[in-house]
């Protein structure tokens, strides 16, 4: 009798363990399809980590290697040392300084840039590291795109191929790589530091659900026209606490408020993360 009770409890324990492992496997497979997008709290600058399964895209690296490293560690498994694509939207310090150390720490498979260059020590240091790591560099423009293995898509919508028009804009902000990231019904607008003169000309519509405010919430971006045209649910501002530029500008905050969208700010909210499956998307706290 005792022996059969022992056998039965041992058997149920084994069943429980097997069921647990199966559940974990189902959960893992399910998680592989989720798209995770995090606007990292890296001070005054931009750094956006996008991942689906073990496939990652990093858009910009913020102003500090240490803050970027810590930010990535918060959202990427420690055993994953590969970032599939790194994008530098434009060569300003608050977008590329953090990237300088990244190429020695991670196996970066592709580095995307625009044709904009800058004669600064940080830009030189970055390009030296890129050359040392032998990562392929690609100058991207409208039409370039990335399809994630699990279904999300990142499409570059700016700069356009017409280089004569680019020559009219010597300001690196105006050449920011601008992309739409879509998965299911969700569309993220990621426009670097583009000024409103260009933002307002982009072929955008109300399919956009989450909009990154241009240029850290500066009054030179994110016009009323853009907000009316795109009608996002959320506007995300990437700015440093107490930054010396006064970003985000109160006029921009007012425009967002008037548009009915929710405002999220890295200087107040820390990392801003979304997890999306093919039918819904929500903020992760």
Which residues lie near Zn ion (CB under 5 A)?
94, 193
Q: How far is the CB of 185 from Zn ion (least distance, A)?
A: 29
Q: How far is the CB of 17 from Zn ion (least distance, A)?
A: 51
Q: How far is the CB of 78 from Zn ion (least distance, A)?
A: 29
Closer Cβ to Zn ion, 193 or 234, answer by number: 193
β-strand partners of 110: 85
Q: How far is the CB of 70 from Zn ion (least distance, A)?
A: 20
Q: How far is the CB of 163 from Zn ion (least distance, A)?
A: 23
Closer Cβ to Zn ion, 94 or 199, answer by number: 94
CA distances from 28 to 22, 25, 32, 53, 273 (A): 10, 5, 6, 9, 19
Q: How far is the CB of 60 from Zn ion (least distance, A)?
A: 8
Q: How far is the CB of 169 from Zn ion (least distance, A)?
A: 16
Closer Cβ to Zn ion, 41 or 193, answer by number: 193
Closer Cβ to Zn ion, 129 or 193, answer by number: 193
Q: Extract the tokens encoding 28.
A: 């893992």
Closer Cβ to Zn ion, 212 or 255, answer by number: 212
Residues recorded for the chain: 285
Q: 79 near 107, Cβ under 8 Å?
A: no
Closer Cβ to Zn ion, 94 or 129, answer by number: 94
Closer Cβ to Zn ion, 126 or 152, answer by number: 126
């Amino acid at each position: 009798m005792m022996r059969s009770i022992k056998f039965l409890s041992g058997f149920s324990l084994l069943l429980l363990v097997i069921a647990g492992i199966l559940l974990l496997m189902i959960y893992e497979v399910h998680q592989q399809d989720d798209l995770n997008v995090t606007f990292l709290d890296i001070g005054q600058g931009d750094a956006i980590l996008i991942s689906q399964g073990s496939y990652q895209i990093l858009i910009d690296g913020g102003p500090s290697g240490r803050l970027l490293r810590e930010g990535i560690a918060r959202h990427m498994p420690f055993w994953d040392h590969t970032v599939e694509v790194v994008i530098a939207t434009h060569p300003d310090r608050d977008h590329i300084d953090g990237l300088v150390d990244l190429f020695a720490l991670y196996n970066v498979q592709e580095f995307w840039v625009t044709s904009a260059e800058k004669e600064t020590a940080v830009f030189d240091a970055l390009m030296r590291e890129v050359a040392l790591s032998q990562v392929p560099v690609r100058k991207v423009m409208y039409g370039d795109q990335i399809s994630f293995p699990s279904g999300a898509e990142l499409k570059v919508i700016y700069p356009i191929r017409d280089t004569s028009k680019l020559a009219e804009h010597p300001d690196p902000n105006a050449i920011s790589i601008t992309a739409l990231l879509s998965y299911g019904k969700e569309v993220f607008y990621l426009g670097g530091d583009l000024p409103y003169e260009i933002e307002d000309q982009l072929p955008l519509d109300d399919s956009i659900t989450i909009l990154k405010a241009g240029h850290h919430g500066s009054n030179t971006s994110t016009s009323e026209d853009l907000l009316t045209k795109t009608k996002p649910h959320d506007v995300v501002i990437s700015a440093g606490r107490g930054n010396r530029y006064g970003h985000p500008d109160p006029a921009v905050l007012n425009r967002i408020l008037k548009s009915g969208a929710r405002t999220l700010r890295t200087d107040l909210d820390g990392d801003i993360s979304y997890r999306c499956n093919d039918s819904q998307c929500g903020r992760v706290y």
